[in-house]
Amino acid sequence: MPGYKESDPFYHSKEWKKLRMDALMRDGGMCQDCMDKFRAGIIRRPRRAVMVHHIIPRKERPDLELVMDNLRSLCATCHEEHHPERRAKAKRKTAERRAPAGGHRMRVIKV
């Protein structure tokens, strides 16, 4: 996906790859945002996680980049919602509705 910093050496480090696997295991390989929406009855079918997201961005808290509690397994769709600034055709209003650092607020999804 354009805009993703895949070239960042951090994502190629042994430590990250291991922790990423651990986080996926902890979350049962499922997208945690989807699971929240699923439990709330908003969606019928949770999606599998395809990446592990930093709840507090590494930019803000590089010291938390390898802390399990700061990680959250997400599917591509939900992950995008956490990074509205990365979207090419950014819808500005999603930026304002972003969850505050450390917390994940439920958002109404468009059907």
Binding site for Zn ion (CB under 5 A): 31, 33-34, 47, 53, 75, 78
- The residue (of 19 and 31) whose beta carbon lies closer to Zn ion is 31
Q: In the bound complex, what is the minimum distance in angstroms from residue 53's beta carbon to Zn ion?
A: 3
Nearer to Zn ion, 58 or 91 (CB): 58
Compute the least distance from the CB of residue 83 to Zn ion, in Å.
5
CB of 74 to Zn ion, least distance (A): 6
Q: Which is nearer to Zn ion, 37 or 92 (CB)?
A: 37
- How far apart CA 111 and CA 65 sit, in angstroms, is 33
User: Which C-beta is closer to Zn ion: that of 47 or that of 70?
Assistant: 47
d(CA 25, CA 36): 17
**What span, in angstroms and rounded, lies between the C-alpha atoms of 37 and 29?**
16
Two structure tokens written together for 22: 């651990």
| Distance of closest approach, residue 51 Cβ to Zn ion, in angstroms | 7
Answer for the pair 31, 74: CB distance below 8 angstroms, yes or no. Answer: yes
Q: How far from the centroid of its chain's Cα atoms is residue 90's Cα?
A: 17
